[in-house]
Amino acid sequence: MIDNNVFENKTAAYFTLGCKLNFAETSTIGKELAARGIRKVRTGETADICVINTCSVTELADKKCRQAIRRIQKQHPKALTIVTGCYAQLKPEEVAGIPGVDLVLGAEQKLDILQYLDGLDKKPESAIHTSPSKNIREFVPSCSTDDRTRHFLKVQDGCDYYCSFCTIPFARGRSRNGTIASMVGQAQEVARQGGKEIVLTGVNIGDFGKSTGETFIDLIRALDEVEGILRYRISSIEPNLITDEAIDFVANSKRFAPHFHIPLQSGSDAVLKLMRRHYDTALFRHKIECIKQALPQAFIGVDVIVGTRGETDEFFEEAYRFIESLDISQLHVFSYSERPGTQALKIDHTVDPKAKHARSKALLDLSDSKLHAFYDAHTGEKAEVLFEKARKGGLMHGFTANYIKVETPYDTALVNQSVPVRLLGWNEEKTALKVELI
Ligand code: SF4
């Protein structure tokens, strides 16, 4: 039993690296600590506890985590330093070996953090608490509330796919989810707090329902009925799990935005096979065509990895041509990085860093031209923009339902409001469209 007095007047600082799921979970950790009287540190203060929620999606992500841990320790030298998240789950000894790290918590332990704080004045007896990934089965609900406008609702966690290049199933365990009723309850709570937009997040959200006997389509149907929420976005969904029914529902729904984010990973069937993905390029093209037919204005973002083992020059050329031919709006390009314990390491052909860099650049240039074409195609149209609270150089930003970023002179009255606008031309930096309020 923890003595509540030890938490009185204590402060905590939170740091998140990686994906939206991590941001949602850090927010839950923060709420748990706040409920016990540990307040969030103010700017300029040093904290009693630092919680660092890490990512391990690539070798570079691990490196960034190590750098962040060192930097945070310098900023908060007397704090109890707790490191959790995917890097902590996958490489607990490596993390515990970083000077100044007091506690390493795995994926299962991170959302039960209080039980590991058995006294803030003494260092914990055991620095590492993790469970084997196959034992991580509990679904812990999380919803981030850092921004009044956009909230990230975790609907699913873990993955059963075991793609050959990926360590996420080892870091986050098997696929699992909360119930539709609990998701609706959380969405209602967001609406009560004035939140207007919810992004559904997870590792493999199309898999929603596996652990509760429900379905993704029933989840989005139920969420669409929650009064007060203006928009939902489906963050990232595997192409083989986007059903025609779901596309049709989004096209006719009250609140789901015409915005899809779909991982392709490679536009070469041979490479998709090596990656052990669950679809081929024909299925991917079919899904894009279905979306565009039902929702011609939809924004479609696509993830691609370059330089995976087995991606020869010919396969990359083929992939490039395939991606170029798709009616999509933006690419998120990642460079392959070797992950210990993955099946991809058994593939002989490797891609040298120079070629990887060139492939990444080619796809980033293609992404730029697709994004510009998408924005240009919608310039001059009327749209509803949900404005956000951040202020930058006298300007504020917001997004249309189909994810076009816009900017306008800052006006407090517009924060968290859905406002009708006309989309004008590009701003000077070509990062957003200027708008006229109508
Ligand atoms: S679908 Fe594949 S790439 Fe995505 S998390 Fe699961 S194993 Fe990793």
Paired tokens of 222: 């139920």
Tell me: pLDDT of 144 over 60. yes
- Whether the CB-CB separation of 236 and 204 falls below 8 Å is answered with no
Alpha carbon of 25 to ligand 1 centroid (Å): 19
Q: Is 80 in the pocket of ligand 1 (CB under 6 A)?
A: no
Specify the pLDDT at position 13: 96
* pLDDT interval class at 116 (50, 70, 90): confident
Paired tokens of 61: 């992500």
Helix axes 313-325, 353-378, angle to 10 degrees: 10
Stronger pLDDT, 36 or 370, i.e. the higher one: 370
Please name the residue whose Cα sits nearest to atom 1 of ligand 1: 161
Q: Is 171 in the pocket of ligand 1 (CB under 6 A)?
A: no
> How far lies 268's CA from each of 7, 134, 306, in Å?
55, 32, 11
Q: Is 12 in the pocket of ligand 1 (CB under 6 A)?
A: no
- Whether the CB-CB separation of 83 and 104 falls below 8 Å is answered with yes
Burial degree of 341 (CB within 10 A; 0-12, 13-18, 19+): exposed
**3-class DSSP assignment, residue 330:** strand
Alpha carbon of 54 to ligand 1 centroid (Å): 18
Stronger pLDDT, 317 or 37, i.e. the higher one: 317
Specify the pLDDT at position 7: 73
Secondary element (H or E) of residue 290: helix 281-294
* Residues 6 or more apart whose Cβ sits within 8 Å of residue 310: 270, 271, 274, 344, 347, 349
Q: Which residue has the tokens 């332990």?
A: 109
pLDDT digits (tens, 9 = 90+) for 181-208: 999 999 999 999 999 999 999 999 999 9
Alpha carbon of 409 to ligand 1 centroid (Å): 41
Specify the pLDDT at position 218: 97
Q: Is 267 in the pocket of ligand 1 (CB under 6 A)?
A: no
Q: Is 272 in the pocket of ligand 1 (CB under 6 A)?
A: no
Identity of residue 171? A
CA–CA dist 180, 189 (Å, integer): 14
Burial degree of 182 (CB within 10 A; 0-12, 13-18, 19+): middle
Alpha carbon of 161 to ligand 1 centroid (Å): 6
Q: Is 166 in the pocket of ligand 1 (CB under 6 A)?
A: yes
Q: Is 163 in the pocket of ligand 1 (CB under 6 A)?
A: yes
Cα separation of the two ends of the chain: 59
- Whether the CB-CB separation of 63 and 91 falls below 8 Å is answered with no
Specify the pLDDT at position 148: 66
Alpha carbon of 428 to ligand 1 centroid (Å): 38
Which of 166, 272, 303 has most ligand 1 atoms within 8 Å of its beta carbon, as the pocket-test mutant?
Answer: 166
Paired tokens of 235: 């963050």
Alpha carbon of 290 to ligand 1 centroid (Å): 23
pLDDT digits (tens, 9 = 90+) for 64-100: 999 999 999 999 999 999 999 999 999 999 999 999 8
Alpha carbon of 166 to ligand 1 centroid (Å): 6
Which of 159, 208, 273 has most ligand 1 atoms within 8 Å of its beta carbon, as the pocket-test mutant?
Answer: 159
Least confident of 54-63, 127-136, 140-149, 249-258: 140-149
- Whether the CB-CB separation of 88 and 104 falls below 8 Å is answered with yes
What is the maximal distance between C-alpha atoms in the chain?
A: 65
* Residues 6 or more apart whose Cβ sits within 8 Å of residue 346: none
Specify the pLDDT at position 8: 74
Q: Which residue has the tokens 């990887």?
A: 356
- Whether the CB-CB separation of 206 and 237 falls below 8 Å is answered with yes
For β-strands 395-400 and 405-409, DSSP reports them as antiparallel
CA–CA dist 437, 423 (Å, integer): 9
Tell me: pLDDT of 119 over 70. no
> How far lies 312's CA from each of 104, 155, 198, 207, 315, in Å?
40, 37, 40, 32, 5
CA–CA dist 260, 410 (Å, integer): 29
pLDDT digits (tens, 9 = 90+) for 373-400: 999 999 999 999 999 999 999 999 999 9
Q: Is 266 in the pocket of ligand 1 (CB under 6 A)?
A: no
Tell me: pLDDT of 333 over 70. yes
* pLDDT interval class at 1 (50, 70, 90): very low
Q: Is 159 in the pocket of ligand 1 (CB under 6 A)?
A: yes
Alpha carbon of 265 to ligand 1 centroid (Å): 10
Computed from CA positions of residues 295, 297, 298, 304, in that sequence, does the dihedral angle turn out positive or negative?
positive
Computed from CA positions of residues 289, 294, 296, 299, in that sequence, does the dihedral angle turn out positive or negative?
negative
CA–CA dist 401, 382 (Å, integer): 11
Tell me: pLDDT of 270 over 60. yes
Residue 344 has what DSSP assignment?
Answer: G
Alpha carbon of 176 to ligand 1 centroid (Å): 14
The whole-number average pLDDT for the span 158-174 is 93
**3-class DSSP assignment, residue 57:** coil
Tell me: pLDDT of 41 over 90. yes
The residue among 221, 140, 132 whose CA lies nearest residue 176 is 140
Specify the pLDDT at position 123: 60
Specify the pLDDT at position 16: 95
Task: Estimate the share of the chain in helix, then strand, then coil, as percent rounded to the nearest 5.
Answer: 40, 25, 40
Q: Which residue has the tokens 């991590």?
A: 22
Q: Is 158 in the pocket of ligand 1 (CB under 6 A)?
A: no
Specify the pLDDT at position 147: 62
* pLDDT interval class at 115 (50, 70, 90): confident
* pLDDT interval class at 125 (50, 70, 90): low
Tell me: pLDDT of 126 over 80. no
The residue among 292, 238, 286, 247 whose CA lies nearest residue 265 is 238
- Whether the CB-CB separation of 311 and 271 falls below 8 Å is answered with yes
Least confident of 35-39, 253-257, 341-345, 409-413: 35-39
Alpha carbon of 160 to ligand 1 centroid (Å): 8
Mean pLDDT of the chain: 93
Specify the pLDDT at position 6: 65
Specify the pLDDT at position 190: 94
Q: Which residue has the tokens 């779909």?
A: 262
> How far lies 24's CA from each of 114, 210, 396, in Å?
18, 21, 24
Q: Which residue has the tokens 């390493």?
A: 104
Q: Which residue has the tokens 């609270």?
A: 389
Q: Is 161 in the pocket of ligand 1 (CB under 6 A)?
A: yes
Alpha carbon of 255 to ligand 1 centroid (Å): 28
The whole-number average pLDDT for the span 248-252 is 98
Residue 42 has what DSSP assignment?
Answer: P
* pLDDT interval class at 4 (50, 70, 90): low
Specify the pLDDT at position 127: 83
Q: Is 168 in the pocket of ligand 1 (CB under 6 A)?
A: yes
